[in-house]
């Protein structure tokens, strides 16, 4: 006899009591700011939680060996039930062994529940479920000379009288999930757009490509895998947008090469903050911020692996694993990745023919290889009385790449190389001191080592031939370069939240970051001045306070905030006459802002936000990156008035499917804008006195009943112009800022079928398209109309076929993807040609 128990009375009563008593995280995500719930007695009816109910049980198969040995068992499972009542995962919490665990899991995955409800809305839930394996009693002996043994019936019989089932250990855990963290952010007053990466993790796109498929976001690349990826958000670009990994600045978290270096399979969701950045990040962002959130689930044991192979000799591997020891709260997690590519894709260039004339030719890039790898280990304790989280993360990453050409792809290089290594650790502590106060803090140290070499005496042509020997070393300029730069970084993020009353929250944040840099160019002759040897220090500090009120049961939300900025820089500068002088500078600034959200229904809301934002130049902008970006010691902080106004419908359920849309208007009015401009063979950051970006972005989507077809599209128009009437760029007043697309759009269609070959499988075909309107590479008022350098219009298509199957707690998926189906010529903002048609395959295993 197999008997499953859900603890129908004790469990539901105890679980409901836990929920109503405020057992976080049951309602914390919905209840109030910073995870602190308001008084439950005043909760509106839509927050009343109804647990799931079992509608269709399934009988487990009694293990044959256990039956023969007359063994019995009891398995406690943690069931994760989705909003449709299906069991998405069954985890063994109390094993019984002898084959009982597997049998109970297989049966539980076939259960069908009436889903949990918050008010009248179906939500996901997690429950504990005890599955009992009991044999029928042996028949009483019969007074016969030769009694025959009674056979064990394989059919279930009435159970013997049993004592009530006691509570499971660990204690009964009935967790009804409210809105997910992604949903909570979308509906908050914050100017945020959330992208969940579950589908992208199965495909071959990197994070740069995932971001590029969102409205208002442009990503311009300087080549294939491993090349620089510059994100544009509502017109502002580069370091005007700050990047974070779980709230830690991305370059200080081990990914100094940027967002494209972060494996998509290590990221659960992306949070895109448009122009108005919350105080908790301690960010001096001008155009917004992107926070990469890794797997936040710390329960149970989980492992995953992915392997990707594709065109241009591309290989990518990621591995991750985590484990929580429930009794002690000890938690361990590890990540690792490795990328390699030759990037030997074909490009169109001009070469000299036998008569010395330039003529078009198609060649393959021969010096554009890239490799990167690294990993991290995280150890600590979670959900202890003295710490909600106390975790230490240590990491090491490195990347090395060849440099194929100059910024305009007019001159090939054959031996120029660049690499960066990063290592460090940080400590994270989070703890609610009461129902009203909470502390989140993280602090750490990161060391980065950058190397850049240009030591060749050969001049190469586009075919990779050394066409002649130069009298001196150096392909970029008439001198050799052998630079190494060491940078020490220390940082902290301290955030305190206090709920003085339900629906009211005060937050305070402090975020200092210090960078100390020195270096050496080994190719500079003894006695000559080497500017890299100067000791350079840069302290950036951001402090802020914000007040959030959510009256009318949260239907109206407002966040008002103030920020203070401070930068202290110290270095030495070489004057034109060769003398050195100390260059020390202290720059204080202030900022203010407000975000407002009005919710008309659960999924329909409007948002408005404003911030007077300041961004302090970072070390690479001031001191250079040790490679192709040179120093500018006189950069001023940039500031901007940022305005957003938007309307969002998350979903509208109709008889013909689910509809969703989002439209947002924005304005960015910047002063001393920092722009990366081409300076011949190098790049340099410079201040543009004033610039203005206004525009609109919109997205529209539809999903059919049954989720078998989904259509999505987006459109962005932005007008980003120089408004300076004096200074270095005064003569270009009214011109569009060069190297910025002003119109781009995209769309996708996904067709999907389930349970085609076996239970819990899915087959999907996804088409993606992206269009970019032609734009100028230089100032539009310079030169004749027919001689201006233009990045042509581009329309790129991709097609991906994915098959995924779930089994128990795990899943397996495989994807074949064709990118740039029509082999369209694609270029970055400075005219460097990007890869054409390419094919990739990816395999993902979840355990």
Percent of the chain with pLDDT over 90: 30
Residue 452 CA to residue 477 CA, distance in Å, equals 14
Tens-digit pLDDT profile for residues 86-131: 888 888 888 888 888 888 888 888 888 888 877 667 788 888 888 8
Q: Given this chain, do its domains 2-141+164-179 and 301-846 carry the same CATH topology? A: no
22 versus 673: the higher-pLDDT residue is 673
> What pLDDT score was predicted for residue 58?
81
By three-state DSSP, how is residue 102 classified?
Answer: helix
Residue 332 CA to residue 415 CA, distance in Å, equals 42
Q: Which of 175-179, 527-531, 722-726, 826-830 is modeled with the greatest confidence?
A: 722-726
Q: Average pLDDT, whole number, for the chain?
A: 80
Give the residue ranges of DSSP H helices in 674-818: none
Q: Which of 12-16, 59-63, 77-81, 590-594 is modeled with the greatest confidence?
A: 590-594
> What pLDDT score was predicted for residue 175?
40
> What pLDDT score was predicted for residue 839?
94
Torsion angle, CA of 207/209/210/214, rounded to 10 degrees?
A: 130
Q: Of 175-179, 225-229, 312-316, 787-791, which gets the smallest average pLDDT?
A: 175-179
Assess whether pLDDT exceeds 70 at residue 459.
Answer: yes
- Around 523, how many Cα atoms within 13 Å sit in the side-chain half-sphere? 16
Sorting pLDDT into bands at 50, 70 and 90, what band is 48? Answer: low
Q: Of 336-345, 537-546, 726-735, which gets the smallest average pLDDT?
A: 726-735
Contact 454, 427 (CB under 8 A): no
So where are the chain's domains? 2-141+164-179, 183-293, 301-846
Using CA atoms, how far residue 337 sits from 76, 106, 398, in Å, is: 35, 33, 11
Query: DSSP secondary-structure letter at 172?
Result: P
Look at strands 682-703 and 629-630 and give their pairing.
Answer: parallel
Sorting pLDDT into bands at 50, 70 and 90, what band is 17? Answer: very low
Model pTM score: 0.71
Tens-digit pLDDT profile for residues 277-306: 888 888 888 778 888 888 777 778 889 999
Residue 120 CA to residue 113 CA, distance in Å, equals 16
Q: In 10 A of CB 601, how many CB atoms?
A: 10
User: For 472-494, what is the mean pLDDT?
Assistant: 90
User: For 723-746, what is the mean pLDDT?
Assistant: 84
Assess whether pLDDT exceeds 80 at residue 229.
Answer: no
Assess whether pLDDT exceeds 50 at residue 150.
Answer: no
Contact 275, 191 (CB under 8 A): yes
Assess whether pLDDT exceeds 50 at residue 431.
Answer: yes
671 versus 508: the higher-pLDDT residue is 508
In the numeric block, the tokens 């442009």 are attached to 218
> What pLDDT score was predicted for residue 371?
92
Torsion angle, CA of 781/787/789/794, rounded to 10 degrees?
A: 110
Assess whether pLDDT exceeds 60 at residue 159.
Answer: no
> What pLDDT score was predicted for residue 345?
93
> What pLDDT score was predicted for residue 579?
61
Q: Of 156-160, 272-276, 384-388, 792-796, which gets the smallest average pLDDT?
A: 156-160
In the numeric block, the tokens 């002003």 are attached to 742
Assess whether pLDDT exceeds 50 at residue 174.
Answer: no
Phi-psi region of 259 (alpha: psi -120 to 50; beta: other; left: phi over 0): alpha
How far from the centroid of its chain's Cα atoms is residue 91's Cα? 27
For 759, the token pair is: 């239970």
User: What backbone torsions phi and psi does residue 259 show, to the nearest 5 degrees?
Assistant: -65, -30
Find the helix or strand (DSSP H, E) in which 14 lies: helix 10-20
Sorting pLDDT into bands at 50, 70 and 90, what band is 838? Answer: very high
Long-range contacts (CB closer than 8 Å, 24 or more residues apart) made by 33-37:
33/497, 33/499, 33/504, 33/505, 33/507, 33/548, 33/550, 34/438, 34/497, 34/499, 34/505, 34/507, 35/432, 35/438, 36/432, 36/435, 36/436, 36/438, 36/497, 36/499, 36/505, 37/435
CATH fold for domain 2-141+164-179: TolA/TonB C-terminal domain (3.30.2420)
Contact 404, 413 (CB under 8 A): yes
In the numeric block, the tokens 């902290």 are attached to 492
For 134, the token pair is: 């009991």
User: For 504-531, what is the mean pLDDT?
Assistant: 88
Tens-digit pLDDT profile for residues 60-83: 888 888 888 888 888 888 888 888
For 500, the token pair is: 């003085």
Assess whether pLDDT exceeds 70 at residue 176.
Answer: no
Contact 245, 745 (CB under 8 A): no
Sequence-separated (6 or more) residues with CB below 8 Å from residue 185? 192, 194, 271
For 612, the token pair is: 């007077």
Superfamily of domain 183-293: TonB-dependent receptor, plug domain (2.170.130.10)
Sorting pLDDT into bands at 50, 70 and 90, what band is 163? Answer: very low
Q: Which of 164-178, 313-327, 523-537, 786-800 is modeled with the greatest confidence?
A: 313-327
> What pLDDT score was predicted for residue 222?
65
Helices then strands, counting H and E runs in the chain, come out as: 7, 47
Q: Of 377-391, 501-515, 563-577, 656-670, which gets the smallest average pLDDT?
A: 563-577
Q: What is the 3-state secondary structure (H, E, C) of 808-823?
A: CCEEEEEEEEEECCCC
Residue among 349, 303, 344 nearest 323 (CA):
303
Superfamily of domain 301-846: TonB-dependent receptor, beta-barrel domain (2.40.170.20)
User: For 740-769, what is the mean pLDDT?
Assistant: 88
Torsion angle, CA of 63/64/68/74, rounded to 10 degrees?
A: 0
In the numeric block, the tokens 């579950």 are attached to 198
612 versus 140: the higher-pLDDT residue is 612
> What pLDDT score was predicted for residue 574?
62
Sorting pLDDT into bands at 50, 70 and 90, what band is 181? Answer: low
Percent of the chain with pLDDT over 70: 84
Contact 137, 13 (CB under 8 A): no
Phi-psi region of 554 (alpha: psi -120 to 50; beta: other; left: phi over 0): left
DSSP string, 723-742: ---SSTTGGGTTPBPTT--S
Contact 154, 64 (CB under 8 A): no
In the numeric block, the tokens 């996708």 are attached to 748
User: What backbone torsions phi and psi does residue 5 show, to the nearest 5 degrees?
Assistant: -120, 130
Assess whether pLDDT exceeds 60 at residue 597.
Answer: yes
Residue among 616, 626, 631 nearest 585 (CA):
616
Look at strands 217-221 and 314-325 and give their pairing.
Answer: unpaired
Sequence-separated (6 or more) residues with CB below 8 Å from residue 786? none
Query: DSSP secondary-structure letter at 95?
Result: -
543 versus 570: the higher-pLDDT residue is 543
In the numeric block, the tokens 């004790």 are attached to 10
Q: Which of 212-221, 419-428, 832-841 is modeled with the greatest confidence?
A: 419-428
Phi-psi region of 614 (alpha: psi -120 to 50; beta: other; left: phi over 0): beta
Sorting pLDDT into bands at 50, 70 and 90, what band is 42? Answer: very low
Residue 193 CA to residue 695 CA, distance in Å, equals 17
Residue 56 CA to residue 61 CA, distance in Å, equals 16
Look at strands 481-501 and 49-50 and give their pairing.
Answer: unpaired
Contact 31, 505 (CB under 8 A): no
Contact 631, 668 (CB under 8 A): no
User: What backbone torsions phi and psi does residue 211 show, to the nearest 5 degrees?
Assistant: -65, -35
């Amino acid at each position: 006899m197999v008997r499953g128990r859900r603890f129908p009375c004790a469990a539901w009563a105890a679980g409901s009591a836990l929920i109503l008593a405020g057992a976080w995280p049951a309602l914390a995500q919905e209840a109030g700011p910073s995870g602190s719930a308001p008084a439950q007695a005043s909760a509106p009816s839509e927050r009343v939680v109804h647990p799931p109910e079992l509608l269709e049980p399934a009988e487990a198969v009694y293990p044959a060996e256990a039956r023969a040995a007359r063994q019995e068992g009891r398995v406690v499972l943690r069931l994760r039930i989705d909003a449709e009542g299906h069991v998405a995962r069954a985890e063994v919490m109390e094993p019984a062994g002898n084959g009982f665990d597997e049998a109970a899991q297989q049966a539980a995955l076939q259960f069908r529940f009436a889903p949990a409800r918050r008010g009248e809305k179906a939500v996901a839930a997690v429950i504990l479920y005890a599955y009992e394996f009991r044999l029928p009693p042996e028949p009483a002996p019969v007074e016969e000379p030769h009694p025959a043994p009674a056979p064990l019936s394989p059919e279930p019989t009435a159970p013997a009288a049993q004592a009530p089932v006691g509570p499971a250990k660990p204690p009964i855990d009935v967790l009804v999930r409210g809105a997910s963290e992604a949903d909570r952010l979308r509906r908050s007053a914050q100017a945020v757009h959330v992208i969940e990466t579950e589908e992208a993790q199965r495909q071959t796109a990197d994070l740069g490509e995932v971001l590029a498929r969102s409205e208002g976001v442009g990503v311009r690349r300087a080549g294939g895998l491993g090349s620089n990826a510059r994100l544009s958000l509502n017109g502002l670009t580069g370091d005007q947008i700050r990047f974070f990994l779980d709230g830690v600045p991305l370059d200080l978290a081990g990914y100094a090469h940027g967002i494209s270096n972060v494996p998509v399979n290590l990221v659960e969701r992306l949070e895109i903050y448009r122009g108005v950045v919350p105080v908790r990040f301690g960010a001096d962002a001008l155009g917004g911020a992107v926070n990469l959130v890794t797997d936040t689930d710390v329960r149970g044991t989980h492992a995953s692996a992915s392997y990707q192979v594709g065109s241009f000799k591309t290989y990518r591997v990621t591995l991750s694993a985590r484990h929580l020891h429930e009794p002690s709260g000890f938690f361990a997690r590890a990540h690792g990745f490795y990328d390699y590519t030759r990037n030997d894709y074909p490009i169109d260039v001009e070469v000299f023919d036998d008569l010395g004339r330039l003529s078009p030719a198609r060649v393959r890039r021969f010096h554009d290889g890239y490799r990167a790898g690294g990993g991290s280990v995280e150890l600590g304790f979670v959900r202890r009385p003295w710490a909600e989280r106390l975790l230490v993360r240590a990491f090491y990453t490195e990347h090395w790449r060849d440099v194929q050409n100059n910024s305009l792809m007019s001159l090939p290089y054959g031996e120029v190389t660049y690499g960066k290594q990063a290592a460090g650790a940080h400590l994270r502590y989070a703890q609610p001191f009461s129902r009203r106060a909470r502390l989140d803090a993280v602090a750490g140290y990161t060391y980065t080592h950058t190397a850049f070499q240009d030591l060749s005496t050969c001049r190469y042509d586009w075919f990779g031939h050394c066409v002649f020997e130069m009298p001196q070393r150096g392909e970029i300029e008439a001198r050799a370069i052998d630079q190494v730069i060491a940078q020490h970084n220390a940082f902290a993020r301290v955030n305190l939240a206090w709920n003085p009353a339900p629906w009211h929250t005060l937050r305070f944040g402090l975020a200092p970051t210090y960078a100390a840099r020195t270096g050496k160019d080994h190719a500079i002759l003894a006695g000559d001045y080497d500017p890299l040897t100067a000791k350079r220090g840069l302290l950036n500090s951001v402090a802020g306070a914000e007040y959030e009120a959510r009256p009318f049961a949260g239907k109206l939300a407002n966040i008002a905030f103030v920020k203070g900025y401070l930068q202290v820089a110290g270095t030495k500068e070489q004057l034109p006459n060769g003398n050195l002088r100390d260059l020390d500078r202290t720059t204080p600034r202030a900022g203010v802002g407000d975000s407002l959200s009005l919710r008309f229904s659960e999924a329909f809301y409007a948002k408005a936000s404003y911030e007077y934002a300041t961004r302090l130049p970072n070390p690479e902008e001031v001191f250079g990156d040790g490679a192709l970006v040179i120093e500018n010691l006189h950069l001023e902080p940039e500031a901007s008035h940022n305005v957003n106004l938007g309307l969002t419908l998350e979903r509208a359920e109709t008889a013909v499917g689910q509809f969703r849309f989002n439209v947002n208007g924005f304005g960015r009015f910047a002063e001393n804008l920092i722009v990366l401009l081409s300076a011949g063979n190098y790049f340099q950051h410079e201040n543009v006195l004033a610039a203005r970006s206004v525009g609109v972005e919109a997205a529209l989507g539809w999903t059919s009943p049954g989720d078998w077809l989904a259509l999505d599209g987006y459109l962005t128009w932005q007008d980003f112009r120089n408004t300076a009437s004096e200074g270095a760029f005064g003569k270009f007043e009214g011109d569009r800022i060069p190297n910025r697309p002003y119109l781009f759009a995209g769309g996708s269609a996904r067709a999907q079928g389930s349970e085609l070959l076996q239970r819990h499988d899915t087959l999907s075909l996804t088409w993606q398209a992206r269009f970019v309107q032609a734009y100028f590479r230089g100032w539009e008022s310079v030169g004749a109309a027919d001689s201006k350098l233009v990045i042509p219009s581009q329309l790129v298509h991709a097609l991906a076929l994915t098959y995924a199957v779930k089994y128990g707690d795990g899943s397996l998926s495989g994807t074949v993807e064709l990118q740039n189906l029509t082999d369209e010529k694609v270029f970055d903002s400075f005219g460097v040609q990007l890869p054409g048609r390419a094919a990739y395959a990816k395999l993902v295993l979840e355990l």
